[in-house]
Amino acid sequence: MATAVALTESWYSSRMKILGIDIGGSALKGAPVDTKTGKLLGERYRVETPTRVSPKRMAEIVREIATHFKWRGPIGVGFPGVIQKGVVLTAANLDKDFIGINLEEFFGEATGCRVHALNDADAAGVAEMRFGAGKDHPGVVLLLTLGTGVGSALFYRGVLYPNTELGHLPIRGRDAEKLVAASVRKAKDLSWHVWGKHLDHYLAILEAILWPELIILGGGVSAKSDKFFKYLKRRTPIVPAEFLNEAGIVGAALAMAEHK
């Protein structure tokens, strides 16, 4: 196998090859992406974060991922929280010290690369709308990522409405993600039937508010759609995400490619 070499940013940019990094509640994952096709250009590099890590440690992991790929080009980062102009405004499932940090500057200093940051579910949605389950859809599309928490991304005619954070919609006095996140099903050892019914109730509320024309369910649990889709009784067509656990990586890279 050919040895990887570090190349200049202009070389990567001209070929639209960008490093995508997906920050989750339990791991960071990254890989180079061909943004013309949405294909990963190497095997995902994953670093587990079983406990909440500090911003300093997170920056070290981001640098580790860039170093693993000998990266010198632009980087797109998906982060589980509200991001405006690169600045973290919420961090529900991560260290609260992230709030107020400009991730683009912070991770840029750690890697020596240009960085663009956005909400992680928004990143996943960008991937699904460009190359996946929502490709060419002309109407309202809602994507939900079911993992440690619940992320959301809303699109109209392919255009993203950023930072919707519908996982924090109050249901029965609690954030929705405390009832329907994939992590909750595992932690409480819920059957697929019970968890699916909780999820169906949540989707019914979102239907009544947003009237989506397509719902895409992502996160690792989407690979097991046969286990719980039969319990979802919505009027809206519901499909599993096509990119599965690669969506955040691909979408972060695509967002970086389109960032002005």
Q: Per the domain annotation, does 129 fall within a domain?
A: no
In a domain, 166, yes or no: yes
DSSP assignment string, 145-189: EESSSEEEEEEETTEEE----GGG-EETTEETHHHH-HHHHHHTT
In a domain, 170, yes or no: yes
The number of distinct structural domains making up the chain is: 2
Q: Are residues 203 and 106 in the same domain?
A: no
| 1 within a domain of the structure (yes/no) | no
The band of 93, judged by pLDDT with boundaries at 50, 70 and 90, is: confident
Q: Which pLDDT does position 119 carry in this prediction? A: 97
Q: What is the pLDDT of residues 44-66, one digit of tens each?
A: 999 999 888 999 999 999 999 99
Looking at the fold, whether 90 and 191 belong to one and the same domain comes out as: no
Residue 3 domain-assigned?
no
Domain that holds residue 58: 9-122+247-258
The CA distance from 52 to 95, in Å, is 6
222 and 254 housed in the same domain: no
Question: What's the average model confidence in pLDDT over 153-172?
Answer: 96
Overall pTM surpassing 0.85 (yes/no): yes
Same domain, 78 and 144: no
What is the CATH classification number for the domain harbouring 221? 3.30.420.40
